[in-house]
Amino acid sequence: MGAFTKSVALNPGDGRPVTLHLAADSRAALELKPEQIQGWRNLVAEARAMFGARHYLSYHFLYTLSDHVASFGLEHHESSDDRDPERAIVDPELFLADVTLLTHEYSHSWNGKYRRPADLTTPDFQQPMKDDLLWVYEGLTQYLGVLFAARAGLYTPEQFHDAVAIKAARLDTERGRAWRPLVDTATEAQLLYEAPAAGEAWRRAVDFYDEGLLLWLEADSKIRERTGGRKSLDDFCRAFHGGADSGPRVVTYTFEDVVAALNGVAPFDWAGFLRDRVEKLTVHPPLAGIEAEGWRLAWRDSSSDLYRAFETSAKQINLKYSIGLVLNHNEERGRGTIEDVIPGMAAAKAGIAPGMKLVAVNGRAWSKDVLHDALRATAQGAPLELLVQNAGYFKTCKLDYRGGERYPWLERIPGRPDVLSELIQPRAGGR
């Protein structure tokens, strides 16, 4: 243990040093590229440009690269415990799939650790935490993590668009919003974090992350609209999370404090805006921010690099947006097992359910290529029959589907200003 480690200074010469510490299962896994180091240095500069102040004396990314620990991030004031697969730095696809891990956790030093919901700030473990404001704690952090990745150059502008498209598409396709408001995913977080994939499209996942991102993007567009483009959500973050440099400390907030801070940037019925999106049942997630900033969710018959990176990283084949099915593609976890189906879409209507195993496609033993070829051919009217195994029973499911392959992208709305591209422009000087 500890045989392969490396530390990299991310803001040399600064009195509040930020350091990336890597610990890997091999020396080869530590081979950082100069552009990766530059991206993380840019992250530190971009966060400083946005917030204007830091609430740590020093900050340490504790980045573990191993296939033998759980993959996740855990935020602290002055550090984060960041865990990825062993080859997450050196494999371009794995790096792309999880590039927002460090940008997200670093944002938590401000949003989550310095500013924290009052009812999540309990004096000891005997008091219950109330997590109804996680759409701020995690939702705004999700927004910041993706935004900082783009401003820091860790995402290209196209990859930023793809990230927004993929999150918007999932939320707009899954059906749980019909019965469960966003706030309930926050209140239920402790159960939803550990819930299995089966049934997720109807149960909802920890949607306060990605739906929070869309909500805060819409808040950004609303601030721009109310101020004639003079202010943005950056101004809210600077006011809410900035202030004076300090060591680690906690300043708590309530829903009313968030509303007041937004009103301080741009007067508006923010309480109504937030309650409509957080507490009410709605058919669609908040997509208006993407559209106000000049883009919209669109569909193509090919997937983006980021989409395929997410599939590889999750060891899945994700056909949610065509036949409404997600398939496990991991040898160790039972390759071919149906992880989830979208209620009302072709696979579910044909009688396919999570837990069944895919055996054959149109009479031929299934593989990724066989499945994609057959799906593509449906656009020309070819049939799609999936032979599935349900415990000891086999059945052939005929899918009523003619749509071919279908994947999410963002496309420009003609004639509308491209605010999204302005949003991701670097803010830090000297670059």
Nearer to Zn ion, 50 or 399 (CB): 50
Nearer to Zn ion, 141 or 232 (CB): 141
Token pair recorded at residue 155: 């995402």
Minimum separation from the CB atom of position 122 to Zn ion (A): 18
Minimum separation from the CB atom of position 75 to Zn ion (A): 6
Q: Which amino acid is at 4?
A: F
Minimum separation from the CB atom of position 82 to Zn ion (A): 11
Minimum separation from the CB atom of position 104 to Zn ion (A): 6
- List residues near Zn ion by CB under 5 A: 138, 141
Nearer to Zn ion, 138 or 339 (CB): 138
CA atoms within 13 A on the CB side of 144: 32
In SS3 terms, the chain reads as: CCCEEEEEECCCCCCCCEEEEEEECCCHHHCCCHHHHHHHHHHHHHHHHHHCCCCCCCEEEEEEECCCCCCCEEECCCEEEEEECCCCCCCHHHHHHCCHHHHHHHHCCCECCCEEEHHHCCCCCCCCCCCCCHHHHCHHHHHHHHHHHHHCCCCCHHHHHHHHHHHHHHHHHCCHHHCCCHHHHHHCHHHHCCCCCCCHHHHCCCCCCHHHHHHHHHHHHHHHHHCCCCCCHHHHHHHHHCCCCCCCCCEEECHHHHHHHHHHHCCCCHHHHHHHHHCCCCCCCCCHHHHHCCEEEEEECCCCHHHHHHHHHHCEEEECCCCCEEEECCHHHCCCEEEEECCCCHHHHCCCCCCCEEEEECCEECCHHHHHHHHHHHHHCCCEEEEEEECCEEEEEEECCCCCCCEEEEEECCCCCCHHHHHCCCCCCCC
Minimum separation from the CB atom of position 262 to Zn ion (A): 21
Minimum separation from the CB atom of position 46 to Zn ion (A): 18
Nearer to Zn ion, 149 or 345 (CB): 149
At residue 361, φ and ψ (nearest 5 deg) are -125, 120
Minimum separation from the CB atom of position 137 to Zn ion (A): 7
Nearer to Zn ion, 97 or 358 (CB): 97
Please list, in sequence order, all residues whose beta carbon lies within 8 angstroms of the beta carbon of residue 257, skipping any fewer than 6 positions away: none
Query: Do the Cβ atoms of 24 and 66 come closer than 8 Å?
Result: yes
Nearer to Zn ion, 178 or 191 (CB): 191
Minimum separation from the CB atom of position 138 to Zn ion (A): 5
Nearer to Zn ion, 106 or 155 (CB): 106
Minimum separation from the CB atom of position 230 to Zn ion (A): 30
Q: Which amino acid is at 247?
A: G
Nearer to Zn ion, 145 or 285 (CB): 145
Nearer to Zn ion, 170 or 222 (CB): 170
Minimum separation from the CB atom of position 51 to Zn ion (A): 17
* Start-to-end C-alpha separation, the chain: 38
Nearer to Zn ion, 155 or 209 (CB): 209
Minimum separation from the CB atom of position 206 to Zn ion (A): 10
Distances (CA, A) of 416 to 220, 227, 290, 293: 16, 18, 11, 8
Token pair recorded at residue 121: 């700030």
Nearer to Zn ion, 82 or 138 (CB): 138
